[in-house]
Structures are given as C-alpha cells and as structure tokens.
C-alpha cells in the first residue's frame, strides 16, 4: 500500500461530545478552512495505524475506542482509498506537528456546529464532511439504541444540522 496514496481521516470526539477540528490558511483557495486530522499512509501501515499516528501528530490525541466509518475512493483517476474513523475515549496531549503543519490550529467544536460549518462551505476536501456526517449518524443511532440522548443533550445532531439550513422556499410560500 505504500506506493498508493491511501489515507485515513479521523473524527475525534471528546467526553463532552466535541469534535477536534484543525484549521489552516490555504492561499490558493483564498482563506482559512477547516479539516479533520488525517493523512497518507506511511510505509506498510494499516488504515487504523495511519489514523492513530495522524491523530497523535496533528491533534496530540490518542483514542482508546475506534470505529471504522467506512472508506471511499475520492476520484476515479486513482486507486487510492480514504478510510474514515471515529475515535472516542480520548487522552489529550501536545500536538506533534511537522514544519509543513506548523500553522495548523486545533479547536474543539460541538458536532452540530461542525456540521453547520460543512453547510457554510468551510471545508475544502470531501473526506471531512463525509466523516462528520457518518459519525453523526453513528452517534445518533447509538444514542437511539440506548434509549438516551448523547451527553450534549442533543438527540439528533445530523437532523438538527439539516433543519438549521436556510430554507430555499420563501417564507411567504410556506
């Protein structure tokens, strides 16, 4: 796998239900954008090993519980796959950024705000939004199966984000 640019992307969720988001300035795209921790495989890493390493390097976080959210091929022009993970039961530490990552800023967002940022176009790449939607769906299903709301008190972050989107129908027509 080392010859193909496979990658892993991680939704890291803390005990309060907040998600680790990174931001950086992308001059070629005219501004600062959000993204999830993640990156390409090194050597013969498995998808999970890559995810664990990238989360530690970019966010300074280790996770005790991991869930695969699936994988996808971002373009038909390449055989590369992007593997998506949810990491929970986190231990926080210092970021271990490389010189090319020195301007990465780590912030923690409630899931519903991260999903709203997707709808506002604050992400450039498709892996982050897809991982967030899949993680929200998983978390909502888990909370529903347990018969409880998640610890944020929000019963369904994914539906809340969709409902908070401005309606394309003028108010006078509803």
CA gap 42, 17 in Å, rounded: 30
| Entry pTM | 0.81
pLDDT < 50 stretches in the chain = 1-2, 150-155, 161-174
Domains by residue range for the chain, with CATH: 7-166 (3.90.79.10)
pLDDT score recorded for residue 57: 96
Q: What is the pLDDT of residue 166?
A: 46
Q: What is the pLDDT of residue 1?
A: 43
Buried b (16+ CB within 10 A) or exposed e, 134-170: bbbeebbeebeeeeeebeeebebbbebbeeeeeeeee
**Would you state the pLDDT for residue 5?**
85
Left, alpha or beta for 10 (phi > 0: left; psi -120 to 50: alpha)?
beta
| pLDDT tens-place string over residues 64-103 | 999 999 999 998 998 899 999 999 999 999 999 988 898 9
Return d(Cα 51, Cα 12) in angstroms, integer. Answer: 10
């Amino acid at each position: 796998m080392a010859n193909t640019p496979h990658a892993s992307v991680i939704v890291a969720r803390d005990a309060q239900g907040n998600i680790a988001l990174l931001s950086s300035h992308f001059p070629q795209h005219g501004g600062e954008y959000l993204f999830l921790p993640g990156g390409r495989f090194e050597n013969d890493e498995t998808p999970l090993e890559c995810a664990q390493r990238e989360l530690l390097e970019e966010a300074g976080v280790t996770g005790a519980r991991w869930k695969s959210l699936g994988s996808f091929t971002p373009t038909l022009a390449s055989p590369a796959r992007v593997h998506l993970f949810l990491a929970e039961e986190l231990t926080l530490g210092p970021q271990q950024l490389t010189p090319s990552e020195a301007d990465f800023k780590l912030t923690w967002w409630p899931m519903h705000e991260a999903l709203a940022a997707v709808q506002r176009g604050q992400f450039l790449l498709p892996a982050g939004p897809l991982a967030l939607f899949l993680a929200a769906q998983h978390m909502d299903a888990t909370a529903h199966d347990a018969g409880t709301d998640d610890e944020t008190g929000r019963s369904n972050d994914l539906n809340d984000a969709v409902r908070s989107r401005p309606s394309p129908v003028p108010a006078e027509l509803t």
